[in-house]
């Protein structure tokens, strides 16, 4: 189906910013399950030049600086995409021990990059503390994809979604302890568990279309950016899982970027000179274009 | 051993030189040690940071005994170093390029990826980056084998000390040095300069990037910058615009083409490296990737310091160079590999464990207690890829003499290689560090040796660069960083402030001593002393003091307040505080200060040492011994400040930097003079003694006498000290010269009178020129409204002048802040989590 995404970030400062230097990761990418039809980023005040480069994961990154004094700064990303209706089916995957052996000998292409996703990263460290969680999933430890599915379900059932609980920097151990968090936390937690178990896992950022309850109007700006995880199986590629909703991403999901964890693909990283205290608002709208009956 | 015949024979002089040095050390250690200490200090290479604490807390120590290496041994070592450097160059190209080493299974990718120096973004660089410099730490075992123990490829850390050690020791032991036919360092530095300048065209600019004055290695960076002739900058002096790097100068932004950096990868660009403290130059990596700036060594070279690479030394050597290793590294096992881990664990007690992302700690596993050991094993279990196990090294110990005590310590040799375009060239010997541990990246080392590689033939005289003192501030116009201008401005202000503070305090103490001797006039009630004490408070801006609330009580018993104004280093405006600020601002521009000036600053610092002994001065009133002592100390400090003033006036190129320093001086003097005149004349204009004391404070007694030949008259005093444009101590003189200085500043030559700075200086100068002494002084004896008002207006305009100057030229010095990604995310969540929404919609973000 066709999906339109509007992602608006607005900064206001209490004092003039003399210069700001920014790195944006807000451009959705083509994947086997989605095609970008249109994409546009507008920035106000407008920079002299925007450089678009691809990072090592193939994500599109925008670099720019605003060199005139300003009190307000707005970034608007508009995208139109075609998404595949269903998530690809899960094939049979190798057993985890076998997977580890295969990866040891991976020396090219995606598999080489995937070995990086077995190592700890700033937001998804590899910890012994997740061993008990892995033990609880003992019966699913045969097939690596089966394990990933079970992990997704386990997090969905045993962790409470709580938007007030977490800031981004909540350490995995605190999420484990409190058994609550938000989508970023669940994705990072799952990635930590998978890396500890020996399965390469990465972090995926994107959007999720939300539907209003029957009979109600959809609220503007009520959608949100979203995050989930993806695991790698040699020769088969990457498979996505959303532990927040216990769902394999489908037509309602839009993928923006992927990396080892949030730090690699933060939507907006910036450094400002001056500015006093910044305040920020974000609004996201995800709308399907042919308003038919959802096929979910 | 003077007059040694310098035979030309090709024989080893190692043994005879060793004997001579040993006997020398035994006999004259003390003399040489003090000579070394003095030279190190006068060259400005004190080892420590410029902070609020004493500057010389951790002086760099140089052993009088050099480490001797014979030519043949050095050549062998050099071949090994050269090979290791070529290997690092090949590795840099490959890990950020094709990654053939992974594709062909030479070593596992995780061993490279697990090191935090590996910069993932650099994979995008189309052409591989060069490795201009390579720095290798080596040590020698008891059996005489050299081993590589570590690498520091981001920057040639401590290379300034290698240079310094050589300059000092060749001066202290000139005969030994010549006799030993010591190979020179000159070639290395020449190649270094050639490499840096090869990276740019003739009109391009290279800067030396350090951390700034508060970093322990600041003096080294300043020393090198001065020696190599590059502008020393801090991250905040640079900015990236349009993918290019610019230096923020008083004349606006100037393009930078080459950065010789002494800061670590992680501190270079807060946008590229998350997890830092936000300092750095945002966008630098992007500019480097766009090939708009050369960074030496390139970003990402930290990955070459990864100790895990040594576990694959032989296969890597074979793969890239087709050679077997000439220089072995410490035996290493990478614990990310199961076979190596098993091998290491089978004899763990004999080994030590290194976290590849932490400073090396080579204490053996056997030395750990049960708890430490199990904690270590837990960490290895979680992240085996981040650990190596290394074999112990039986390090050779070398004779040293410190504090006249012979001792023997294990050594690390830090070697420096430079890629001259065709091959790597090593500085003969390098720097010898004495320690029980491996040198960490920025770890502070106190003890070092010069390293003498002894030739078999005579070595030609080859001085590094002509060792001449550069004229101060002799830099091209338009290259004065705003931060430096700011520091020079404050150097001027602080020097002036210190001088005035001293003059006022000296006057006060002199009066106390005088009146004390004559017991007829009790000190506290003397109006003359009170006038001077009030002037002191006003001049030093240490209210309330002798002016504000509680002044009457303090005038009765002035000791405590005076001691506080002299000694209390935490009190703004006190003598101790002002001198500290002066040394701090001077330290911050150390790369731009001549050796002569450095000596004066050192002397000033020595003479200010009495300020640390407040306890020696318990009371002042009636204590003529203490008063005399302090007055003598003040005289000495005033002499030093006069030397500083003379030196800065006569020996500096009168360029932009000098103008800013003089502006600082003049603005400060104008402010103080106005304040003191106001304070004294408002209270007392008819007492000849007060007027004479006022003139003395302005150093204008003789001028007054020769000019007016009359009784002391307040109007004439005011005329001389306020309005006389020829009296260098008068307010008018300061304003006149401020006006002239401002007209020479960048962008001013063409400016009309609409410029706010020119307008201000014209306004204040006109006020002073139009003033009538008689009118100012007229009116009620105790309410000199007009003088008071006038003083207030002049003070306000002067302070506005300083602020405007700073806003126009000096405030490109804002500190960057990271738009916190955490707050960003929280905001997203808060924005989108209206409870109603959550309940309504099934999927959750």
* pLDDT, tens digit (0-9, with 9 covering 90-100), for B658-681: 899 999 999 999 999 999 998 888
Cβ-nearest to B274 among A209, A263, A282: A263
Contact B304, B153 (CB under 8 A): yes
Average pLDDT over residues B134-144: 93
Segment B695-712, tens digit of pLDDT: 988 889 888 988 888 788
Q: Could you tell me the pLDDT band of residue B53, with boundaries at 50, 70 and 90?
A: very low
pTM of the model: 0.86
Successive 10-residue mean pLDDT values, chain A, 296 residues = 93 89 94 94 92 89 90 95 87 85 76 90 91 91 92 95 74 89 93 95 93 72 84 92 93 94 90 85 87 46
User: Of B640, B844, B76, B836, nearest to A224 (Cα)?
Assistant: B844
ipTM summary value: 0.92
| Res B199: pLDDT | 67
Most confident of A91-105, A256-270, B740-754, B798-812: A256-270
Q: How many other CB atoms are found less than 10 A from the CB of residue B747?
A: 13
| Res B434: pLDDT | 84
Q: Please compute, for residue B493, the number of CA atoms within 13 A of its CA located in the half-sphere on the CB side.
A: 21
Residues of A numbered 268-287 whose beta carbons fall under 8 angstroms of chain B's beta carbons: which are they? 268-275, 278, 280-284
**Cβ neighbours for B178, distance < 8 A, ≥ 6 positions apart:** B4, B6
CA–CA min distance A79, chain B (Å): 19
% of chain B beyond a pLDDT of 70: 85
Strand partners, B481: B249
- CB burial of residue B258 (10 Å; 0-12, 13-18, 19+): buried
The answer, yes or no, to whether residue B130 has pLDDT greater than 90, is no
| Res A46: pLDDT | 92
Q: Could you tell me the pLDDT band of residue B556, with boundaries at 50, 70 and 90?
A: confident
Q: Could you tell me the pLDDT band of residue B403, with boundaries at 50, 70 and 90?
A: confident
Nearest chain A residue to B102, by CA: A107
E-only strand ranges, B161-216: 206-209
Segment B337-376, tens digit of pLDDT: 999 999 999 999 999 999 999 877 777 888 889 999 999 9
| Res B779: pLDDT | 63
Strand partners, A230: A202, A240
Average pLDDT over residues B146-156: 94
Asked if the C-beta of B830 comes within 8 angstroms of chain A's C-beta atoms, the answer is yes
Asked if the C-beta of A198 comes within 8 angstroms of chain B's C-beta atoms, the answer is no
Q: Is B48 or B779 the better-scoring residue by pLDDT? A: B779
Nearest chain A residue to B103, by CA: A107
The answer, yes or no, to whether residue B204 has pLDDT greater than 70, is yes
Which of B119, B356, B824 best tests the A interface by mutation, with the highest count of A CBs <10 A? Answer: B824
Q: Could you tell me the pLDDT band of residue B823, with boundaries at 50, 70 and 90?
A: very low
Q: Checking DSSP bridges between strand B231-233 and strand B206-209, what pairing results, if any?
A: parallel
Nearest chain A residue to B104, by CA: A107
Residues of B numbered 138-157 whose beta carbons fall under 8 angstroms of chain A's beta carbons: which are they? none
Segment B227-261, tens digit of pLDDT: 888 889 999 899 998 889 999 888 888 899 999 99
| Res B366: pLDDT | 86
- Three-class SS state of A230: strand
| Res B55: pLDDT | 44
| Res B443: pLDDT | 44
Q: Is B736 or B34 the better-scoring residue by pLDDT? A: B736
Segment B500-552, tens digit of pLDDT: 999 999 999 998 887 655 555 554 457 889 999 999 999 998 989 999 899 98
Average pLDDT over residues B391-403: 86
Q: How many cross-chain Cβ pairs, A to B, lie less than 8 Å apart?
A: 191
B491, B565, B581 from B540: Cα distances, Å: 16, 8, 14
Distance between CA atoms of B615 and B101, rounded to whole angstroms? 68
Contact A213, B841 (CB under 8 A): yes
Average pLDDT over residues B264-274: 86
CB contact under 8 A, B271 and A21: yes
Segment B458-478, tens digit of pLDDT: 877 776 555 444 444 344 455
Would you state the structure tokens that stand for residue B237, as one six-digit string?
A: 């002096």
| Res B85: pLDDT | 97
Contact B356, B386 (CB under 8 A): yes
E-only strand ranges, B590-706: none
Cβ-nearest to B243 among A51, A107, A271: A51
User: Of B745, B743, B409, B684, nearest to B534 (Cα)?
Assistant: B684
Cβ-nearest to A56 among B120, B274, B830: B120
Q: What is the mean pLDDT of chain B?
A: 83
- Which ranges constitute the DSSP H helices of A83-225? 96-104, 109-116, 131-136, 144-158, 172-178, 183-197
Q: Could you tell me the pLDDT band of residue B391, with boundaries at 50, 70 and 90?
A: very high
Average pLDDT over residues B150-167: 91
Distance between CA atoms of A187 and A262, rounded to whole angstroms? 9
Would you state the structure tokens that stand for residue B201, as one six-digit string?
A: 């065209």
Cβ-nearest to B831 among A22, A108, A282: A282
Contact B576, B567 (CB under 8 A): yes
Contact B253, B213 (CB under 8 A): no
């Amino acid at each position: 189906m066709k999906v339109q995404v509007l992602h608006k970030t607005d900064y206001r400062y209490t004092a003039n910013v003399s210069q700001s230097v920014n790195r944006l990761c807000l451009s959705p990418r083509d994947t086997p399950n989605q095609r970008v039809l249109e994409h546009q980023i507008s920035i106000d005040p407008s920079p002299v030049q925007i450089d678009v480069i691809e990072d090592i994961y193939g994500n599109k990154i925008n670099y720019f600086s605003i060199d005139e004094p300003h009190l307000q700064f707005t970034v608007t990303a508009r995208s139109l995409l075609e998404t595949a209706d269903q998530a690809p089916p899960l094939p049979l995957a190798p057993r985890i021990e076998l997977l580890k052996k295969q990866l040891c000998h991976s020396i090219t292409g995606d598999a080489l990059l995937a070995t990086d996703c077995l190592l700890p990263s700033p937001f998804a460290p590899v910890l012994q503390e997740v061993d008990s969680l892995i033990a609880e999933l003992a019966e699913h430890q045969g097939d690596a994809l089966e394990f990933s599915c079970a992990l997704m379900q386990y997090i969905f059932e045993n962790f409470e979604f709580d938007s007030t609980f977490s800031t981004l920097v909540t350490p995995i151990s605190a999420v484990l302890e409190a058994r609550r968090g938000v989508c970023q936390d669940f994705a990072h937690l799952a990635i930590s568990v998978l890396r500890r178990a020996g399965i390469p896992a990465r972090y995926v950022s994107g959007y999720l279309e939300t539907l209003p309850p029957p009979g109600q109007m959809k609220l503007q700006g009520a959608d949100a950016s979203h995050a989930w995880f993806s695991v790698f199986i040699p020769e088969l590629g990457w498979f996505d899982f959303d532990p927040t909703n216990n769902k394999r991403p489908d037509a309602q999901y839009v993928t923006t970027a992927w990396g080892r964890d949030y730090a690699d693909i933060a939507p907006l990283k910036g450094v400002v000179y001056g500015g006093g205290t910044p305040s920020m608002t974000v609004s996201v709208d995800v709308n399907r274009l042919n308003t038919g009956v959802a096929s979910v | 051993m003077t007059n040694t015949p310098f035979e030309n024979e090709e024989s080893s002089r190692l043994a005879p030189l060793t004997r001579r040095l040993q006997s020398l050390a035994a006999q004259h250690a003390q003399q040489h040690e003090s000579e070394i200490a003095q030279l190190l200090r006068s060259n400005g290479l004190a080892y420590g940071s410029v902070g609020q604490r004493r500057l010389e807390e951790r002086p760099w120590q140089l052993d009088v005994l050099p480490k001797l290496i014979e030519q043949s041994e050095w050549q062998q070592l050099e071949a090994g170093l050269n090979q290791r450097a070529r290997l690092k160059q090949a590795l840099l190209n490959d890990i950020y390029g094709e990654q053939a080493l992974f594709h062909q299974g030479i070593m596992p990718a995780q061993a490279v990826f697990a090191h935090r120096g590996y910069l993932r973004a650099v994979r995008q660089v189309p052409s591989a980056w060069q490795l201009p410099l390579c720095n290798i730490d080596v040590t020698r075992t008891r059996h005489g084998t050299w081993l590589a123990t570590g690498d520091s490829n981001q920057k040639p850390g401590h290379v300034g000390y290698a240079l310094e050690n050589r300059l000092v020791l060749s001066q202290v032991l000139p005969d030994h040095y010549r006799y030993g036919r010591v190979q020179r360092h000159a070639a290395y530095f020449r190649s270094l300069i050639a490499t840096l300048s090869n990276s740019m065209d003739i009109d391009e600019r290279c800067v030396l990037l350090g951390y700034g004055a508060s970093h322990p290695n600041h003096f080294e960076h300043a020393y090198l910058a001065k020696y190599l002739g590059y502008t020393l900058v801090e991250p905040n002096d640079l900015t990236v615009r349009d993918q290019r790097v610019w230096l923020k100068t008083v004349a606006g932004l100037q393009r930078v083409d080459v950065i010789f950096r002494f800061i670590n990868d992680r501190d270079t660009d807060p946008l590229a490296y998350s997890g830092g403290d936000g300092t750095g130059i945002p966008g630098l990596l992007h500019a480097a990737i766009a090939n708009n700036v050369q960074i030496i060594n390139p970003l990402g070279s930290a990955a070459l310091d990864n100790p895990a690479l040594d576990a694959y030394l032989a296969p890597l050597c074979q793969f890239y160079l087709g050679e077997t290793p000439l220089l072995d590294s410490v035996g290493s096992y990478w614990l990310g590999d199961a076979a190596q881990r098993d091998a290491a664990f089978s004899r763990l007690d004999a080994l030590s464990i290194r976290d590849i992302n932490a400073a090396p700690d080579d204490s053996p596993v056997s030395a750990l207690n049960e708890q430490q050991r199990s904690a270590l094993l837990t960490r290895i279990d979680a992240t085996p890829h981040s650990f190596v196990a290394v074999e112990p090294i039986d390090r050779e110990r070398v004779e040293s003499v410190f504090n006249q005590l012979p001792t023997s310590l294990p050594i690390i040799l830090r070697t420096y290689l430079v890629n001259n375009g065709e091959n790597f060239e090593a500085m003969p010997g390098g720097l010898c560090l004495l320690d029980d541990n491996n040198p960490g990246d920025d770890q502070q080392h106190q003890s070092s040796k010069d390293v003498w590689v002894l030739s078999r033939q005579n070595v030609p005289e080859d001085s590094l660069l002509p060792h001449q003192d550069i004229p101060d501030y002799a830099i091209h116009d338009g290259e004065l960083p705003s931060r430096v201008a700011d520091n020079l401005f404050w150097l001027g202000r602080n020097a002036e402030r210190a001088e005035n503070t001293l003059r006022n305090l000296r006057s006060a103490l002199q009066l106390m001593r005088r009146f004390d001797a004559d017991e007829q006039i009790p000190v506290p009630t003397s109006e003359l002393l009170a006038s001077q004490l009030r002037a002191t408070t006003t001049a030093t801006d240490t209210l309330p003091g002798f002016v504000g609330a509680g002044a009457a009580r303090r005038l009765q018993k002035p000791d405590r307040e005076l001691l506080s104004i002299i000694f209390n280093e935490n009190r703004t405006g006190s003598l101790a505080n002002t001198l500290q600020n002066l040394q701090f601002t001077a330290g911050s521009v150390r790369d731009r200060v001549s050796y002569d000036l450095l000596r004066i600053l050192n002397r000033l610092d020595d003479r200010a040492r009495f300020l640390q002994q407040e306890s020696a001065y318990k009371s002042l009133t009636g204590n003529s011994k203490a008063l005399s002592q302090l007055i003598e100390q003040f005289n000495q400090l005033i002499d030093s400040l006069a030397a500083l003033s003379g030196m800065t006036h006569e020996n500096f190129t009168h360029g932009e930097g000098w103008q800013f320093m003089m502006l600082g001086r003049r603005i400060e003097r104008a402010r103080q003079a106005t304040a003191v005149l106001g304070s004294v004349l408002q209270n007392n204009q008819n007492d000849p003694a007060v007027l004479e004391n006022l003139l003395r404070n302005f150093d204008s007694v003789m001028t007054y006498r020769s000019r007016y030949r009359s009784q002391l008259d307040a109007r004439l005093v005011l005329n001389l000290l306020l309005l006389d444009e020829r009296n260098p101590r008068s307010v008018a003189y300061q304003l006149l010269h401020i006006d002239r200085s401002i007209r020479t500043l960048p962008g001013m030559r063409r400016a009309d009178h609409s410029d706010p700075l020119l307008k201000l200086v014209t306004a204040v100068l006109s006020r002073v020129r139009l003033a009538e002494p008689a009118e100012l002084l007229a009116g009620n004896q105790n309410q000199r409204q007009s003088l008071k008002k006038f003083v207030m207006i002049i003070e306000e305009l002067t302070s506005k002048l300083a602020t405007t100057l700073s806003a126009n030229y000096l405030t490109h010095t804002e500190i960057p802040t990271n738009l916190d990604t955490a707050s960003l995310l929280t905001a997203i969540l808060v924005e989108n989590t209206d409870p109603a929404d959550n309940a309504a919609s099934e999927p959750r973000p």
